[in-house]
Amino acid sequence: MQLGRILNIFKKGTKARPTSSLVLTTHLKQRDLPHWTSYFVKYSDITSDQRGLSHFNWKVDNVNYHILRTGCWPYIKYHCSRRPHDDLSLEDRFFRILKVMNLGIPCLAYGIGASFLISCEEKIHTPEGTVTIYFLYEEDRGAMH
């Protein structure tokens, strides 16, 4: 068992929280592998097992997604686009450096602003519990872009 999972047991009682990667995968599956989606999840509702990743590939049922991920307290923001697998290591490193150079201030402002602008939510049902994810606006589930 990972140290983060053990610590989460003490934070929220006796039940571990789902990982951010499980919520991501489950959301994409619940949406029948959409062409794109963009959502927020509260740090307090998950265990962040993708910490440090900003731009990366994520495969679900043989479908690849490019994931843009950023911490914007009190949330983590995910933007997912169905795309062919690419080497995203350069972009990932660039976004991480940019966040550090800006001391995370724009990310914090984004999270606080999003708290006032979120207008929709959806329940994600995982084997480890249900997590609510949030949207700035209701997504068109069949949209290509």
Rounded mean pLDDT of 50-59? 94
Whether residue 144 is contained in a domain is answered as: no
Whether residue 140 is contained in a domain is answered as: no
Whether residue 143 is contained in a domain is answered as: no
The pLDDT of residue 94: 95
pTM, to two decimals: 0.84
The pLDDT of residue 140: 76
The pLDDT of residue 1: 43
Q: Which residue in this structure is represented by tokens 């998950």?
A: 46
Whether residue 142 is contained in a domain is answered as: no
Whether residue 139 is contained in a domain is answered as: no
Rounded mean pLDDT of 72-83? 96
Q: List pLDDT tens digits, range 106-142.
A: 989 999 999 999 999 999 999 999 999 999 998 877 6
Residue 5 has pLDDT above 60, yes or no: no
The pLDDT of residue 6: 47
- Residues contacting residue 74 through CB under 8 Å, at least 6 positions apart: 42, 43, 44, 111, 115
Q: List pLDDT tens digits, range 80-111.
A: 999 999 999 999 999 999 989 989 899 899 99
The pLDDT of residue 120: 95
Residue 65 has pLDDT above 50, yes or no: yes
Residue 115 tokens, joined: 């708290």
Q: List pLDDT tens digits, range 16-42.
A: 899 999 999 999 999 999 999 999 999
Residue 83 tokens, joined: 């795309």
**Domain carrying residue 58:** 3-134
Tell me how far the alpha carbon of residue 49 is from its chain's centroid: 10
Domain count, the chain: 1
Which class for 64: exposed (0-12), middle (13-18), buried (19 or more C-beta within 10 A)? middle
Whether 84 and 73 have beta carbons less than 8 Å apart is answered as no
